[in-house]
Amino acid sequence: MSQIPSPAPADTRAANGTQPLPSAPDEAPQALPLQFRGTARDYFGVWVVNVLLTLCTLGIWSAWAKVRTLRWFHGHTYLAGAGFDYHATGGQILKGRLLAIAIIVGVSLIGAVWPLAERLISLFILLAIPWLVNASLGFHAYMTSWSNVRFGFQGSYGRALLAFVVLPLISIFTLGLLTPLATQQLARYMVGGHRFGHAAFFSAPRLGALYAALLRGMGIFIVVCLAGILAAQWVGQAANPEFSFTEMLQGLTSPLHRHPSPGLRMFLSVFPVLLATLYAALIIATLYYGACAHNEILNRCALQGGHRLRSAVTPWRYLWIILSGIVASILTLGLAYPWARVRQYRYVTQRITVLAAPGLDEFVSQQPAHVPGAFGAEFSQLEGFAGVSAL
């Protein structure tokens, strides 16, 4: 389960944006921890074959590679002795990708001939994001099952537009100050839209807890930046004993001359350190906030019938796993990536526990008959990748 299971539409009755969780039965719940039984060695074989076949087929095999990867991770994840499964096929994924590529190529050709049309189509794609996201969530949810019961997702265009477009944009324009609100609404929509069989999920993450996590993340950001400034001071003085930030700033604000000023040379000597510090601070603070939000969302999540989730991810431990995995992958030219991915997945998965109320078996119900198409899922992923690549 690489994603948090998403449940039923959230009720917006409470003034503070939260909803009460379903009441649990009087009997004590049974703690059922998620288990992951895969190994990095086994996944390395799957990953190597996927990479080689993707290269040999000029990317065509990537559709089957995605299915094999998801099926491997799902198949090695167990709850109460029953495994998860992923039922999509490479052909379904490939059809969606080919149609998405055809649309993107068509948009590019039209834009080259008629620039105004390109802007209009870009606006149309932006407005289509909610539909694409809903299609993607619905497809991948239905293709996932546990104990022979399929998951599902039901969303609405308006709420998806708010959760995936409007609030993220507002959060950016407010320099992240509304990130907890965006996180809360996104979690309520995604979790509240998912089903297990015909049973709905609910989630009521607390805005106060998310803001507390954001403040801690900001504190971490400031500390990392201060450490980076001290490191830049040390590097600058090593290159030039007369280095000082005061002189550097004065040189940068003085009129430009034909030759670089001493202040500009000082700035160029420490610029890589300052840039690396900024990126490191953003990554560390974001990962920390993400781990805290993950816990809050799952700890406030429930399934109809009184079944609940509990997550105990330690933010600092999670940070270490992610960052050390990135470093190991870079140092080994990507060969350590399977180990890093399995390590991260195992840690997050095995820190999740299902608090099952009596009568869990009654939730094993008839599978839904509707099967969403693969087009929305693949187009949203491909278009997102293209947008990132264009930056």
Per-residue CA distances from 11 to 24, 65, 193 (Å) = 18, 39, 11
Q: Taking the CB of residue 140, how many other CB atoms lie within 10 A of it?
A: 19
Q: Please give the Cα distance from 84 to 66 (Å, whole number).
A: 16
Average pLDDT over every residue of 171-184: 94
Q: Please give the Cα distance from 359 to 143 (Å, whole number).
A: 25
Domain boundary among 202, 226, 255: 202
Say if residue 353 is in the same domain as residue 210. yes
Say if residue 128 is in the same domain as residue 270. no
Say if residue 353 is in the same domain as residue 223. yes
Domain boundary among 202, 234, 255: 202
pLDDT of residue 12 exceeding 50: no
Average pLDDT over every residue of 17-33: 66
Average pLDDT over every residue of 314-331: 97
* 109 is a domain residue: yes
pLDDT of residue 355: 94
- Give the range of the structural domain holding residue 148, as residue numbers without chain letter: 77-202
**Strands, sheet with 35-36, edge to edge from the N-terminal-most edge strand:** 30-33, 352-356, 307-311, 301-303, 199-203, 194-196, 149-153, 144-146, 82-86, 77-79, 35-36
Higher pLDDT, 340 or 356: 340
pLDDT of residue 10 exceeding 80: no
- The answer to whether residues 137 and 2 touch, using CB atoms and an 8 Å cutoff, is no
Q: Which of 18-27, 177-186, 217-226 has the lowest mean pLDDT?
A: 18-27
pLDDT of residue 387: 36
Q: Looking up tokens 């409470």, which residue turns up?
A: 14
Number of domains making up the chain: 2
Q: Please give the Cα distance from 258 to 247 (Å, whole number).
A: 19
pLDDT of residue 310 exceeding 70: yes
What confidence tens digit (pLDDT) does each residue in 346-372 have? 999 999 999 988 877 766 654 444 545
pLDDT of residue 5: 38
Say if residue 158 is in the same domain as residue 300. no
Say if residue 171 is in the same domain as residue 313. no
* 28 is a domain residue: no
Q: What does DSSP assign to residue 358? A: S
DSSP per residue over 187-220, as a string? HHHHHHTEEETTEEEEE---HHHHHHHHHHHHHH
pLDDT of residue 44 exceeding 70: yes
If residue 140 lies in a helix (H) or strand (E), which one and from where to where? helix 115-142
- The answer to whether residues 285 and 293 touch, using CB atoms and an 8 Å cutoff, is no
Cβ within 8 Å of residue 73, ≥6 positions away: 2, 38, 345
* 347 is a domain residue: yes
Say if residue 183 is in the same domain as residue 217. no
- Taking phi over 0 as left and psi of -120 to 50 as alpha, with beta for the rest, 302 belongs to beta
Half-sphere exposure (Cβ direction) of 336: Cα atoms closer than 13 Å: 16
Say if residue 258 is in the same domain as residue 212. yes
Average pLDDT over every residue of 89-95: 88
What confidence tens digit (pLDDT) does each residue in 202-225 have? 999 999 999 999 999 999 999 999
* 314 is a domain residue: yes
pLDDT of residue 386 exceeding 50: no
pLDDT of residue 311: 97
pLDDT of residue 71 exceeding 80: yes
* 390 is a domain residue: no
pLDDT of residue 42: 97
Domain boundary among 154, 174, 202: 202
pLDDT of residue 171: 93
Q: Please give the Cα distance from 76 to 342 (Å, whole number).
A: 11
Q: Please give the Cα distance from 146 to 364 (Å, whole number).
A: 9
Higher pLDDT, 14 or 238: 238
- The answer to whether residues 66 and 140 touch, using CB atoms and an 8 Å cutoff, is no
Say if residue 255 is in the same domain as residue 349. yes
Most confident of 166-175, 292-301, 362-371: 292-301
What share of the chain has pLDDT > 70, as a percent? Answer: 81
Cβ within 8 Å of residue 24, ≥6 positions away: 302, 306, 308, 357
Q: How far apart are the first and last CA of the chain?
A: 30
Say if residue 274 is in the same domain as residue 340. yes
Q: Please give the Cα distance from 151 to 139 (Å, whole number).
A: 10
Say if residue 216 is in the same domain as residue 342. yes
Higher pLDDT, 106 or 257: 106
At position 356, the amino acid (one-letter code) is: A
Q: Which of 82-91, 125-134, 324-333, 379-388 has the lowest mean pLDDT?
A: 379-388
For 91, the token pair is 């052909």
pLDDT of residue 70: 96
The helix/strand count (H/E) of the chain reads as: 13, 11
Q: Please give the Cα distance from 349 to 344 (Å, whole number).
A: 8
Q: What is the mean pLDDT of the chain?
A: 83
Q: Which of 168, 160, 192 is nearest to 5 (CA)?
A: 192
Burial 84-109 (b: 16+ CB within 10 A, else e): bbbebebebbbbbbebbeebeeebee
E strands, the chain, are: 30-33, 35-36, 77-79, 82-86, 144-146, 149-153, 194-196, 199-203, 301-303, 307-311, 352-356
Say if residue 214 is in the same domain as residue 349. yes
Q: Which of 23-32, 70-79, 229-238, 354-363 has the lowest mean pLDDT?
A: 23-32
pLDDT of residue 308 exceeding 50: yes
Q: Which of 3-17, 67-81, 279-293, 362-376 has the lowest mean pLDDT?
A: 3-17
* 21 is a domain residue: no
Burial-class residue 173 by CB neighbours within 10 Å (0-12, 13-18, 19+): exposed
What confidence tens digit (pLDDT) does each residue in 224-281 have? 999 999 998 888 888 777 777 776 776 666 665 555 566 677 777 788 889 999 999 9
pLDDT tier at 1, thresholds 50, 70, 90: very low
* 320 is a domain residue: yes
Say if residue 116 is in the same domain as residue 257. no
* 64 is a domain residue: no
